[in-house]
Every structure is written in C-alpha cells, then in structure tokens.
Structure 1
Amino acid sequence: MGESLLLESAATMGVAMVPVLELRGAIPFGLAAGLPPGLAYLTAVIGNMVPVPAIMLFIRHLFRWLRQRPWWGRKIDWIETRAHLKGRMVRKYRIFGLVVLVAVPLPGTGAWTGALVAALLRIRMQIALPAIFVGVLIAGGIVTGLSLGVISLF
C-alpha cells in the first residue's frame, strides 16, 4: 500500500471515530480522498468500532464523575434522557432494535449512540458488541452505496 493510501486510510479511520461524524462522514471523506470504495468502507467500519468498547465500559463512570461538576450536570442529564428515549426501541425489540438503531445512518444514531444506549440499559458487552458491529456493517454499506450514487451524478 502506498504512503498516500496509508495516510488517507488512517485519516478515514480517525474521522470514523469522531462522534456524530462516524461512518456518515468517514466514508465520503475516504472516497473524496481517493480511497477505493472497499477500503473506505473497511477503514471506516474499523474506526467506527474502535471507541465502542471504551464507551460501554466507562461512560457511566464518566457521567457520574461529570455530574459532580456544576456546568456538566444538566448536560449529562440531557444526554442520558435522549439515550433513554432512543433506548425505547432497544427495550422493545431487544438486540434487533440495537442493530437498527446503529444501522440507520442518520444523526442521533450510530455506534456511539448504540454503545451509550447499551451501556445505560446495562446490556452485556458480549451481546451488544456483535449487534453494534452488525449495525455498523449495514450503515457502512448504506453510506457507501449512497456516496457512490452521489459521486456518479458528477
């Protein structure tokens, strides 16, 4: 792999780790940087999954710690409320609901939200990680297909 492909792959992976951007931003970024579609997809999926275990393991502890700071308390309450609202589908449809929550490539969904919901609902990691991974694979496929469709218009 050439140095340029390696750098663009690393950058794509980095973009995929950022909350909100995730795959929705990383795959178009990788394609625009000249990565082949398969490589843009693969690096974005890997990058999107990197923070998931840490989120699931540490987010409740981080939230508890941040709540002790006056400025953060209401913001953490707001984040948790939104996560619990999104978690309704997960509670109702269980693991399938978690897959769908992650798979729909819209703002407010994705691996970060799925990991947060799974952590707050205390879904065991060995159950949640595969569900989130399947959702990321589906979302990556959707975003890659849509991105290639948009590129073909130009």
Structure 2
Amino acid sequence: MITIAKLIFLSILPISELRGAIIYSKIIGMDPLLSFFIATLANIAIVPFIFFFLDYLHHFFLRARFYKRIFYFQVRRTTKKIEKHIGTKWELPALYLLVAIPLPFTGAYTGVLAAWIFKIKRKKALLAIVLGVITAGILLSSGLSLI
C-alpha cells in the first residue's frame, strides 16, 4: 500500500510526474501494468487542479505591476512567434506531442502551462493532454520492459 502511495505521489509531483513514477516502479519491481495504470491515472487526475491553480495564482499576481507588465509582454511576444510559425490549427497536435514525448520538462504540467498561456479551450486541451499522458506512459512502460 505504501508503494502505491509513493507511486501516486511521484506521479503528481511536477519534477518527476509520470516518467519518474514509472521508472520508480520498475526499480522496485512492481507489476508494470499496475504501475502504468496507477501512475497514468494519478497524472491525469492532477491536470484540472493545475489549471485552477494557474488561474488563481495569475489572478493573485496580476495585482503586482511588475508581474503584469512582464507577463503580458512575454505572452504576447511568444504567442505571436508561435502562431506565426505554427498557426492555430496545429496547437492541439503540438500540445499532444509536448506531453507525449518523454523528455525532461515535458509532461502534463508543461502541457497545462502551454494550453493556459496560448488560451486553448480547456476541453480540447484536456483531451490532448490526457492522450499525451497515456502515450507517454505506454512509451515509457514498453521501453522499460525491454530493459
């Protein structure tokens, strides 16, 4: 039971997320299928809370002029660059790939942040993020099973 709690905890941490949890389960010799389902569900379950947390923090920090000026300058500049090169029709596939590719600093937290910054509709963003988390879990689990 404690092992499952540790797995869930690692899945919801921003630094380790799904990747760290699945690697941890492999190290301790946990059933790969069970660890895949637990880690994936925990990582998916945290996504709506991250959106809420970002909304709340942003609203709170907007009171500070420094934050407001820097945030809007960076967001406008970044969204213009991305939309110029990628366009808005590729935002969901790009979001999916951002979450699905198991590299450092990619995952559900980064996907939520990207969806929030680029103002992608929540339901569509949630779908892309959930599919990305599932894909990352499959890639990691199948890759680790070869070891």
Q: By the TM > 0.5 criterion, same fold?
A: yes
Evaluate the alpha carbon distance shift between residue 90 and residue 34 of structure 1 in structure 2; reply closer, same or farther with a 3 A threshold: farther
Q: Which consecutive unaligned segments of at least 5 residues does structure 2 have?
A: none
Query: 1:11 is matched with which residue?
Result: 6
- The letter of the residue matching 1:48 is N
Deviation per residue, 1:51-86 (Å, 9 max, x gap): 21011233033034246579x949x85xx76xx57x
Structure 2 distance, partners of 1:69, 1:94, is 30
TM-score by length of 1: 0.75
What is the root-mean-square deviation of aligned Cα atoms in Å? Answer: 2.7
- The CA distance in 2 between the partners of 1:16 and 1:65, in whole Å, is 27
Write the letter of the residue equivalent to 2:47. Answer: V
1:34 CA displacement: 2.4
Residue 122 of structure 1: aligned partner? 119
**Contiguous gaps of at least 5 residues in structure 1:** 1-5
Q: 1:105 corresponds to which letter in structure 2?
A: P
> Percent identical across equivalent pairs?
31
CA–CA distance in 2 between the matches of 1:123 and 1:7?
A: 37
For 1:104 and 1:90, locate their aligned partners in 2 and report how far apart those are by CA, in whole Å.
Answer: 21
Q: Figure out how many residues of one structure are paired with residues of the other and give that number.
A: 138
The answer on whether the counterparts of 1:56 and 1:118 sit within 8 Å (CA) in structure 2 is no
TM-score by length of 2: 0.79
Report the residue type matching 1:124 in the other structure. Answer: K
